[in-house]
Structures are given as C-alpha cells and as structure tokens.
Amino acid sequence: MNPVIKLENVSFAYNTNYILENINLNVEQNDFLGIIGPNGGGKTTLLKLIMGFIKPDKGKVEVFGKSSGKSNSRIGYVPQFNQTDKQFPIKAFDVVTMGLGHSKSFLPWNKKSDFGKVTEAMDFVSITDIADNTFGELSGGQQQRCLIARALVSNPGILILDEPTASVDSTVEVDIYKLLKKLNNDMTILLVSHDVGFISSYINKIACVNKEISVHGRDEISFDKISHEAYHGDFSMIQHKCNL
C-alpha cells in the first residue's frame, strides 16, 4: 500500500538558511505520528510543506499520491491555539461551519446537507450543547473541541494538529487525546507536541525533527535517544504514567 504522505529528499530554506535538509518521510494510512523537536527545528515548516502552503526547494512532497496542495480538501488542520477576543460575536456552530469553506460568504453553509455535516461533527466531539454559545466565552477545552470539529466537518483523510493541548489543563488534555485516538480509527493523524511522555500512550510512531528527521516506532526508542536526535542534548518533560 502506498503511503498517504511521502516526502522524498526534501529541503527547504528561508533565504539561504536551511530549515529542513534532505528529509525523507513516509506516513501510512491510520498512522498516529507524533512530531517533536526544538523551537525553530522545522516542525511547523514540515506541516506547511505537507499541506502545500509552501513548496520545497528540493525534493518532492506527495499527499494521497498527488503533489502537496492538490489534496488540501482531504486534510483537516487544527493550528496552535490563540486566545480569542471574548467580545467577538461568533457562535461555536459558526466556527465549525467555517471548515466547509466552499462558499464565498462569511459563513459557508447554505444547504441542509451542510447543516447536517456541522451538527454531526459537533456531536462527534460532544459539543452540540454549546452550539449557540459565543466562542470567546467557551472554556479552553471547549474551544479546542470546536476547532477539532471545524477540521473534521469536511471529512478529511488526514488530521494535522499543532500543539492542540498547549492551553488546556491535564484533565482536558486526556479527554482530547482519547478523542484523537478514537478518530485515528478512521484517519491518519499528525500531531506536534513537546510533551513526549504524554503522547507516547497514543501515537504509534514518533518523528524527531531538528533540520533533519528521524522516525521510530513507539517501542523502538528511549527518551535518551529522543533527546539526542530531536534536541541535541538533554531536555525536560512533564512526567506522566506512561511508557514509550
């Protein structure tokens, strides 16, 4: 079976400064890939290449067998969470609706089928009861579930998340990762995180990104090896009851 994501000898530079250099990566159907590495190591650049937001200077990037950018409708994306203006008058339902993105209007749904897709996505992440609540007044966990629903509403084959639990407490973090593990039954997931100890209970592969990339199965590596490959030295982690 062909990988759903394939990077072959890919390099990317801002001006003359290479952020990623000669990387190779295969992501298979239903992989749950954790992506770790230092700030500035190339994690976000890697995501942008996969989503087709930027093009490699060298090599090729394919998603579902096509050049990156040509399969964007099959990728759901949850960016890093930013605090929202509590006064901004948009409902949770409308935020999820934006994930449809096929209309030129501000709120891109105008068919009964669209309404059903939004309702289904909200039901899957258990937020139908807050559909009419203002987004800015939701808790951090509710907002993050809302953003995940927005990414799911177009029924993607790949879900990409950039530090999805950075602004929530540990209890909410567990709930979100349980939700992602459930989603992983039907889609491939790529997730950026600094909390290696925690995500190890959910992922099946881990990619250490620091200009270069090394990918390992969950049972193949130790924290010392992660430290060396992704951070070029020791690093601290939040401690959780889980094993890599």
**CA-to-CA dists, residue 12 to 40, 48, 183, angstroms:** 13, 11, 31
Q: Is pLDDT larger for residue 242 or for residue 181? A: 181
Distance CA 137, CA 230 (A): 37
Structural domain total, the chain: 1
| Tokens 């901004």 found at | 88
Residue 187's pLDDT is what? Answer: 96
Whole-model pTM: value is 0.85
70 pLDDT more than 80 = no
Distance CA 18, CA 2 (A): 29
Give per-residue burial for 32-64: e unless 16+ CB within 10 Å, then b: bbbbbbbeebbbbbbbebbbbebebeebebbbb
On average, the pLDDT of the chain sits at 85
**CA-to-CA dists, residue 65 to 4, 94, 158, 215, angstroms:** 7, 33, 13, 21
Per-residue confidence band for 72, with pLDDT thresholds at 50, 70 and 90: confident
How far the first Cα of the chain sits from its last, in Å, is 27
- Structural domain includes residue 209: yes
- Structural domain includes residue 24: yes
Sign of the Cα pseudo-torsion (115, 121, 124, 126, in order): negative
60 bridge partner residues: 8
* Residue type present at position 30: N
Residue 62, SS3 per DSSP: strand
231 pLDDT more than 70 = no
* Residue type present at position 43: K
Residue 194's pLDDT is what? Answer: 83
- Structural domain includes residue 242: no
- Structural domain includes residue 100: yes
Residue 224's pLDDT is what? Answer: 58
Residue 242's pLDDT is what? Answer: 34
Tell me what the mean pLDDT of segment 176-191 comes to.
Answer: 95
17 pLDDT more than 90 = yes
Distance CA 136, CA 63 (A): 34
Q: How do residues 142-158 score in pLDDT, each as one tens digit?
A: 999 999 999 999 999 99
% of the chain beyond a pLDDT of 90 = 59
Sign of the Cα pseudo-torsion (28, 80, 136, 180, in order): positive
- Structural domain includes residue 113: yes
For residue 225, the domain's CATH number is: 3.40.50.300
- Structural domain includes residue 180: yes
Three-state DSSP string of 146-182:
HHHHHHHCCCCCEEEEECCCCCCCHHHHHHHHHHHHH
Per-residue confidence band for 2, with pLDDT thresholds at 50, 70 and 90: confident
- Structural domain includes residue 148: yes
Residue 151, domain extent: 5-231
- Structural domain includes residue 241: no
| Tokens 């258990």 found at | 126
